[in-house]
Amino acid sequence: VLQNNDGNYYCPTLIVAPITTKLKKLNLPTHCYFETVRGLPEPSMVSLEQIKTIDK
């Protein structure tokens, strides 16, 4: 989820981006790489070129 808590509370929609463990094209500016952190059991990448708004 890519929006703040106020947006999460008041809006009927959510702004999201997919997270994958298939680490490809890490040099692209729209691909954000994350090492293993809380909630992600292995290195992952967020594909920001695929941002979407979805209904709750």
Decide: pTM greater than 0.85.
no
- What residue ranges do the domains of the chain occupy? 5-55
Q: What is the pLDDT of residues 3-14, one digit of tens each?
A: 999 988 999 999
Q: What is the pLDDT of residues 29-53, one digit of tens each?
A: 999 998 887 888 899 999 999 999 9
Rounded Cα distance, 21 and 8, in Å: 26
* 47 membership: H or E segment, kind and range: strand 44-47
Inform me whether the pLDDT recorded for 27 exceeds 90: yes
